[in-house]
């Protein structure tokens, strides 16, 4: 309808009736909505680094129950739906933590809440601000902020009410490449279902999951941080030692290259030069400014 109005094929007078007819279209069915909510939340769990079968099943079950709760509350305020769904996710994670059925308690709490985040409102609000539609952009971002706040409040309240203790664990290693790509495509397909995208169009956003290949290539090239179970570390500065470093040693590596290693070559060790080049550029800029001020004073 919007495309027809912009192209002049639909008169403005007929836009109101067309908008009302579009608003009366049925959403995705409740079973499909719950199924893809479970698939999307479990896919996010895989992307975030867990392959624990029990943890993924709990994530999927929590998201499915939250989706059914949202559909059951569809006649009430739209702000109540994410609050109650996040409360379910927090309660399920707390019970799983108390029973010690899975080590991925944090992801059991967070992944079902991630599918509740109003991404389109945030993106459209940012686009409106970029196009200087300030009032509309601020309104959309404020509405999205309220929903995110309710998601956080519901998750924390459900986790606390069920007697859970949120413990931050170490990072997990990257999952295998093919599993990562499949999980990303499944997550994108689930978000398409949340907005009642027809079945025939779902393969297109699912194909976007292949963009995960670029991320993995950047990780393998040493241009992105890698996650390990013993803590995050950085690839590229010294490939023979990929564990965590003390803070002072990390600063020396960042500003002067690899610790206790001199004579970096561009082809042999490009990350070290990539780290040191911005520092040298800033020193040159500061030196030029000081020379300029001295010339003005003279």
Residue 232 reports pLDDT greater than 60: no
Asked if residue 160 and residue 135 are part of one domain, the reply reads yes
Annotate 125-146 with three-state secondary structure. Answer: HHHHHHCCCHHHHHHHHHHHHH
**Partners of 226 in beta bridges:** 233
User: What's the longest Cα–Cα distance across the chain?
Assistant: 79
Each residue of 81-136: pLDDT tens digit? 999 999 999 899 888 888 888 777 888 888 899 989 988 899 999 999 999 999 99
User: Per-residue DSSP letters for 233-289?
Assistant: B-SSS-TT--S---HHHHHHHHHHSSTT-----TTT-HHHHHHHHHHHHHHHHHHHH
- Evaluate whether residue 219 is within a structural domain: no
Q: Name the percent of the chain lying above pLDDT 70.
A: 69
Q: What residues contact 206, with CB distance under 8 A and at least 6 apart? A: 185, 186, 188, 189, 192
Residue 269 reports pLDDT greater than 50: no
- Evaluate whether residue 221 is within a structural domain: no
- Evaluate whether residue 223 is within a structural domain: no
Question: What is the structure's pLDDT at 169?
Answer: 58
As for how many domains the chain has, the answer is 3
Q: Which of 18-32, 180-194, 273-287 has the lowest mean pLDDT?
A: 273-287
Residue 208 reports pLDDT greater than 80: no
Whole-number Å distance between alpha carbons of 159 and 194 = 25
Between 283 and 123, the more confident residue is 123
Q: Name the percent of the chain lying above pLDDT 90.
A: 18
Each residue of 60-84: pLDDT tens digit? 999 999 999 998 988 888 889 999 9
pLDDT range class, residue 284, cuts 50, 70, 90: confident
Question: What is the structure's pLDDT at 26?
Answer: 79
Question: What is the structure's pLDDT at 236?
Answer: 39
Residues 225-247, mean pLDDT to the nearest whole number? 44
Each residue of 213-228: pLDDT tens digit? 555 555 555 545 544 4
Residues 155-171, mean pLDDT to the nearest whole number? 74
Asked if residue 147 and residue 93 are part of one domain, the reply reads yes
Whole-number Å distance between alpha carbons of 252 and 27 = 57
- Evaluate whether residue 9 is within a structural domain: yes
Whole-number Å distance between alpha carbons of 115 and 280 = 43
Whole-number Å distance between alpha carbons of 150 and 89 = 13
Residue 229 reports pLDDT greater than 80: no
- Evaluate whether residue 222 is within a structural domain: no
Cβ 66 vs Cβ 97: under 8 Å: no
- Evaluate whether residue 225 is within a structural domain: no
Residues present in the chain in total: 298
Question: What is the structure's pLDDT at 228?
Answer: 45
Asked if residue 107 and residue 188 are part of one domain, the reply reads yes
Asked if residue 90 and residue 16 are part of one domain, the reply reads no
Give φ, ψ of 233 to 5 degrees.
-145, 175
**Partners of 233 in beta bridges:** 226
- Evaluate whether residue 136 is within a structural domain: yes
pTM of this prediction exceeds 0.85: no
pLDDT range class, residue 144, cuts 50, 70, 90: very high
Question: What is the structure's pLDDT at 57?
Answer: 92
Residues 254-273, mean pLDDT to the nearest whole number? 46
Asked if residue 167 and residue 42 are part of one domain, the reply reads yes
- Evaluate whether residue 71 is within a structural domain: yes
What Cα–Cα distance (Å) separates residue 24 from each residue in 18, 59, 69, 212? 10, 32, 22, 36
Range of the domain at 1: 1-26
């Amino acid at each position: 309808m919007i495309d027809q109005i912009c192209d002049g094929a639909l008169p403005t007078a007929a836009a109101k009736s067309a908008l009302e007819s579009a608003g009366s279209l049925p959403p995705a069915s409740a079973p499909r909505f719950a199924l893809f909510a479970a698939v999307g939340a479990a896919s996010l769990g895989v992307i975030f680094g867990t392959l624990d079968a029990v943890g993924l099943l709990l994530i999927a079950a929590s998201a499915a129950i939250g989706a059914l709760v949202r559909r059951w509350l569809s006649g009430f305020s739209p702000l109540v739906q994410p609050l109650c769904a996040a409360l379910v996710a927090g309660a399920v994670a707390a019970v799983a933590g108390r029973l010690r059925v899975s080590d991925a308690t944090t992801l059991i709490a967070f992944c079902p809440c991630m599918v509740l985040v109003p991404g389109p409102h945030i993106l459209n609000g940012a686009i409106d601000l970029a196009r200087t539609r300030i009032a509309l952009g601020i309104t959309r971002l404020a509405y999205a902020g309220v929903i995110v706040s309710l998601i956080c409040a519901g998750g924390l309240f459900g986790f606390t009410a069920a007697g859970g203790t949120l413990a931050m664990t170490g990072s997990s290693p990257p999952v295998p490449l093919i599993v990562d790509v499949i999980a990303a495509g499944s997550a994108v397909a689930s978000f398409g279902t949340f907005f009642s995208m027809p079945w025939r169009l779902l393969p297109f956003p699912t194909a976007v999951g292949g963009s995960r290949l670029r991320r993995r290539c950047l990780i393998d090239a040493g241009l992105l941080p890698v996650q390990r179970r013993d803590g995050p570390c950085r690839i590229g500065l010294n490939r023979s030692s990929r564990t965590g470093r003390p803070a002072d040693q990390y600063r020396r590596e960042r500003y002067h290259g690899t610790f206790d290693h001199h004579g970096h070559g561009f082809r042999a060790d490009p990350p070290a030069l990539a780290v040191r080049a911005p520092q040298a550029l800033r020193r040159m800029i500061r030196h030029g400014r000081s020379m300029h001020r001295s010339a003005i004073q003279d």
